[in-house]
Amino acid sequence: MLSDRAEKTSEVVVLTASLEDPSASPPGIYRVGFLATCGSIFAFFAALVICYIWRAQSANYWEPIQLPSILKLSTTLIFLSSLTFEAARRLYRRGERPSYYKLMALTTLLTVGFLALQTSAWVDLYRAGAFLSQNPHSSFFYIFTGLHAAHVAGGLVALGFVLAKRAPRREVVNMVAYYWHFLFVLWVGLYTTLAVVS
């Protein structure tokens, strides 16, 4: 089988055929999983956004809520976690393991901070009297932020899996990093939609 870097070198790089080892995943399988996962998540949230915008056109029982200002800080944290993960991915590619682990630890801390701030935003809204079933606007806010936080938590599980491996395949590290970037872009889209429609 050919490496994904074969076209960048003057020589063909030959990898051990994974078909000889049934326990080894063939090259490219993680990319397929990544594309399928992100595609389904995007379609799901796109459908929710369409429903949200369509429902906002009707003023019946629609009470706009004030978005917590802390969301700006949480947006900054998830942006920084995406940057640190990308830097860690590049360090791993170059074989600089100590620096890679430090940046991955920082990525984890930033992500936990993002989830903590999201929780704080929910608490602030709850104290302000904006409940999940109070009106469609607050319901969509909790649904958007809650489901996104769940996918971020799933990303933390994947990050933990990568860190637990002594020498994970570079393809795995790449796909988890790309998933992180996808979550950041998804959050920016959701936050912008909430801010504009509200």
- Cα diameter, the chain: 67
Is position 11 within any domain? Answer: no
Which residue shows structure tokens 């795995």? Answer: 172
Q: In whole angstroms, how far apart are CA 118 and each of 57, 71, 121?
A: 27, 7, 5
Is position 178 within any domain? Answer: yes
Is position 3 within any domain? Answer: no
* CATH of residue 34: 1.20.120.80
5: CB partners within 8 A, 6+ apart: 13
Give the pLDDT of residue 198: 66
Is position 65 within any domain? Answer: yes
Is residue 183 within 8 Å of 148, Cβ to Cβ? yes
For the chain, how many structural domains are there in total? Answer: 1
Q: Which of 39, 38, 64 is nearest to 52 (CA)?
A: 64
Is position 20 within any domain? Answer: no
Give the pLDDT of residue 148: 96
pTM: 0.81
Single-letter amino acid code for the residue at 134: Q
Is position 19 within any domain? Answer: no
Is position 45 within any domain? Answer: yes
Rounded distance between C-alpha atoms, residue 8 and residue 99, angstroms:
26
* Full domain range(s) for residue 52: 27-197
Rounded distance between C-alpha atoms, residue 50 and residue 40, angstroms:
15
Is position 106 within any domain? Answer: yes
198 residues of the chain, pLDDT tens digit each: 444 544 555 555 555 544 444 555 566 777 888 889 999 999 999 999 999 988 888 767 777 788 889 999 999 999 999 999 999 999 999 989 899 999 999 999 999 999 999 999 999 888 877 776 667 778 888 999 999 999 999 999 999 988 888 777 888 889 999 999 999 999 999 999 988 886
Taken in order 40, 140, 197, 127, is the CA torsion positive or negative?
Answer: negative
Tell me the sheet residues that pair with 14: 2
What is the chain's Cα-based Rg?
Answer: 20
Tell me the sheet residues that pair with 2: 14
Give the pLDDT of residue 10: 58
